[in-house]
Structure 1
Amino acid sequence: MTEHTDTAPQTSVKSGRGDRVMLGIGLMIGAMLSMSILDAVAKHLVETYPVVQMLALRGIVILAILFALMPRAGGLSTFRSANLPGQVRRIGYSLAAPVLFFTALKELPLADVTVLVFGGSFFMTALSVPILGERVGVFRWSAIAIGFTGVIIAAEPTGDNFGMTTLFAVSASIAYALLMIETRRTGFSDPLFTQTLYPAVGVTFMAWLTTPFIWVPFDFADTGWIALLGIFALTGHFLVYKAFGVAPVSVLAPFEYTALVWATILGYFVFNELPGNQVWLGAVIIVLSGMIIVWREARLSRSQHPTLPTVGD
């Protein structure tokens, strides 16, 4: 039984649909901030180390944190999953998504890869219908389309370098969408710690199977960067898993676009990159698309509350 099903029953007025959705949205925005910091750190490291080696070293940090927390989370019982096939699939998606993303990033401009990967919101929304049985109306599709338009404006893809390598970015987008779908599905039966533990152990194990054959001598001056890579990866994934445990995939999908806002801020303060006018315009459109979803969910929540039983607020 997951934590959210114990503390937020659907029949409760105080923790009803609207509150749970808003919590999920807040968690997703925080997750995108963590992921953006992760990308900034990875951008620094990927110039020196192979992607798989980065994942292997990052995994040591993540597992050290998880194993330290494991006794409080239930010990070895946290490996017990009610949906083991789903967790195995999540391991595969959790490995494929970053490997494909950073492989594409080595060959394509960041703007091009960003646009392609953000297309995962469309895959997520589309796949949530047949896999999870979620209902997606015209309103949500429209909000996602508006947000994606903002991404295109802000990223301003050149199109000059699109070729076979584009398939890596598209595949990364699909892998990430499938990971989020599977996370939502396994979240109904497995606790959050188990959700975090399986991909951490699986990805680290598989990365170390390959790393000895491609090893680049490690500079211990980069130890701090590797630690940050692990910390922000764990934090980001934790928040994502929690978000998809309390809110529908199709609602959360547009809020992935906030990663572009965080990336713009980090680019300015960390890399001294001044965003162009198209980035600011795109960022405004992206935020507005998210606010449309917030307004819609708040309206639906208010309209449904009168029909719920009174429990004494």
Structure 2
Amino acid sequence: MADIAILETRERVLAGILFTGAAYFLFSTQDASIKLLVVGMSVWQIMFFRSITILVACTAIGGRRLLADTARSPIVRPMFVRSAFTLAAWLCYYNAARSLQLAELTTVYYAAPIIVTVLSVIMLGEKVPMLRWLAVLIGFAGVFVACDPTHLGLSVPVLLVLAAALLWGIAVVLLRKTAMQERTMIQLILNNFYFLVFSAVPALFLWQAPNQEQLLLLLSVGALGGVAQYMLFEGMKRAPVSIVAPFEYTSLVWAFALGFLIWGDVPRREVFLGAALIVAAGLLIIGSEHFRKRL
């Protein structure tokens, strides 16, 4: 029985890693779409449209029963707090997107997994083995090598991204707490309902009628954001925060790929070295977790 329990735990953690990795790929694609949109549209309007799209989809899937269960959920208040931190991180990050390249934006932001790992110890009491700390540091080293963010300086956009990293780190740790208490669809409803409420008034004041291209991008942001949130919530249910946090580094690889495809940014040699370090960090976590569960 003990062997079966260990096997189930290991499979659960690996499933959490897969869900989280897929979520960050979708988030990266969403970020590229939003970077295209913020050139001519406010962040508030994008957030409002994304929230509406996700809520309509959830309601179509779950119907009235899902809405009734959401209203009675015990995590209504905790999700409000978590959503407030996420909203603040969103605003900082995407306002900085107007001034930074996608790769630069992603690089500076990757203080977040280290913050998450530290907070998982302080706020959740998780025990983080040395190999996992090593993986976090290797991943961050990969980000640093790939982008060399030191030339960016401490401009306002860079400070906004650093603030976003701290706020998102807190939000992820709070998400781990709520993820264990409620169904994913209910968390999805609450998260986007709060975003809708927060963004409604400024979005209406700053509203600009989207053209056909912008409308398609807005719909894609809603679809990508909704599926990514669902996968992230599911991943958090299956694996400790300190395990899945470094997999956020994989977004850098996608950021460079999308930057090349959309804006023609050609990666330097250092990018490939950095990407290799990031992949090594992820494999180190998977391998150490597999070995630890077998002992």
TM-score bracket for this pair, using the shorter chain length: over 0.9
**What code does the residue aligned with 1:133 have?**
G
Q: 1:194 to 1:47 in 2, by over 3 A?
A: same
8 Å contact kept, 1:112–1:159: no
Q: Which residue of 2 aligns with 1:156?
A: 148
In 2, distance between residues paired with 1:160 and 1:290?
Answer: 27
SS in 1 for 2:74: coil
In 2, distance between residues paired with 1:90 and 1:218?
Answer: 30
Q: 1:53 aligns with which of 31, 34, 45?
A: 45
8 Å contact kept, 2:108–2:149: no
What is the TM-score of this pair, normalised by structure 1?
A: 0.88
Q: 1:140 to 1:172 in 2, by over 3 A?
A: same
Note if 1:268 corresponds to 2:227: no
**What code does the residue aligned with 1:64 have?**
V
1:23 CA displacement: 0.6
SS in 2 for 1:134: coil
Q: Which residue of 1 aligns with 2:135?
A: 143
Q: 1:227 to 1:110 in 2, by over 3 A?
A: closer
Q: 1:69 aligns with which of 50, 61, 66?
A: 61
Note if 1:170 corresponds to 2:162: yes
Note if 1:102 corresponds to 2:94: yes
Q: Which residue of 2 aligns with 1:235?
A: 227
8 Å contact kept, 1:95–1:203: yes
Q: Choose 100-109 or 167-176, whichever is displaced more.
A: 100-109
Report which of the two has the higher share of helix.
2
SS in 2 for 1:106: coil
Q: 2:113 aligns with which of 101, 121, 126?
A: 121
Q: 1:75 to 1:197 in 2, by over 3 A?
A: closer
Note if 1:199 corresponds to 2:191: yes
Number of equivalent positions = 295
In 2, distance between residues paired with 1:167 and 1:161?
Answer: 9
Deviations 1:255-309 (A, max 9, x none): 1111111222223333333211111110000000110111100101111xxxxxx
In 2, distance between residues paired with 1:190 and 1:152?
Answer: 37
Q: Which residue of 2 aligns with 1:26?
A: 18
SS in 2 for 1:222: helix
Q: 1:48 to 1:133 in 2, by over 3 A?
A: same
Deviations 1:236-271 (A, max 9, x none): 111111101110000011111111112222233333
Deviations 1:35-71 (A, max 9, x none): 1110111111111101111111222211111111122
Q: Which residue of 1 aligns with 2:274?
A: 282
SS in 2 for 1:190: coil
Gaps of 5+ in 2: none
In 2, distance between residues paired with 1:251 and 1:240?
Answer: 13
8 Å contact kept, 2:184–2:233: yes
1:28 CA displacement: 1.0
Q: 1:272 to 1:37 in 2, by over 3 A?
A: same
SS in 2 for 1:16: helix
SS in 2 for 1:70: helix
Q: Which residue of 1 aligns with 2:205?
A: 213
What is the TM-score of this pair, normalised by structure 2?
A: 0.93
Q: Choose 187-196 or 112-121, whichever is displaced more.
A: 112-121
Deviations 1:195-237 (A, max 9, x none): 1111111101211121122223322442111110100001111
1:93 CA displacement: 1.9
Q: Which residue of 2 aligns with 1:224?
A: 216
Q: 1:288 to 1:77 in 2, by over 3 A?
A: same
Q: 1:20 to 1:269 in 2, by over 3 A?
A: same
Deviations 1:148-198 (A, max 9, x none): 000011122253442344331111111111111111101121111111111
In 1, distance between residues paired with 2:280 and 2:237?
Answer: 24
Q: 1:187 to 1:11 in 2, by over 3 A?
A: farther
Q: Which residue of 2 aligns with 1:37?
A: 29
Q: Equivalences for 1:72-87 in 2 at 5 Å?
A: 74-87=66-79
Q: Which residue of 2 aligns with 1:251?
A: 243
8 Å contact kept, 2:32–2:102: no
Larger Rg: 1
Gaps of 5+ in 1: 1-9, 304-313
8 Å contact kept, 1:111–1:157: no
8 Å contact kept, 2:20–2:244: yes
8 Å contact kept, 1:80–1:194: no
Q: Choose 37-46 or 11-20, whichever is displaced more.
A: 11-20
Superposed CA RMSD in Å reads 2.1
**What code does the residue aligned with 1:54 have?**
I
